[in-house]
Amino acid sequence: GDSVTQMEGPVTLSEEAFLTINCTYTATGYPSLFWYVQYPGEGLQLLLKATKADDKGSNKGFEATYRKETTSFHLEKGSVQVSDSAVYFCALSDNNAGKSTFGDGTTLTVKP
């Protein structure tokens, strides 16, 4: 079945540092890929998405590129802020199945 593997956390960075959170996936079809963010005590919010190979999703300074050859969708940001501290989830949606499959989440803490 479908699966998503995320880089284990927690990740602690200083403000303005470069962020990479790795995500790889296994799927039988041609899934859409997503990053969601969860702030403390809240539900998940969609951060960015890509629907086909080589697409780049971007939002709020975050970006991720759909790499079919390496089955990856790594999240990057050039300069993190304290307000980026949250849990980040990589997810895929098999467009024929309806449901989405999530990774285990990576906790990011950004220190001033």
Partner 1 sequence: NAGVMQNPRHLVRRRGQEARLRCSPMKGHSHVYWYRQLPEEGLKFMVYLQKENIIDESGMPKERFSAEFPKEGPSILRIQQVVRGDSAAYFCASSPLANTGELFFGEGSRLTVL
Chain residues that interact with partner 1, rule: CB under 8 A: 31-32, 34, 36, 41-46, 49, 89, 91-93, 95-105
Closest CA to 20 of 35, 40, 42: 35
Nearer to partner 1, 86 or 92 (CB): 92
Element (H, E) at 12: strand 11-14
Nearer to partner 1, 17 or 71 (CB): 71
Closest CA to 72 of 90, 95, 47: 90
Q: Measured from the CB of residue 18, what is the shortest distance to partner 1 in angstroms?
A: 25
Secondary structure letter of residue 72 according to DSSP:
B
Nearer to partner 1, 32 or 74 (CB): 32
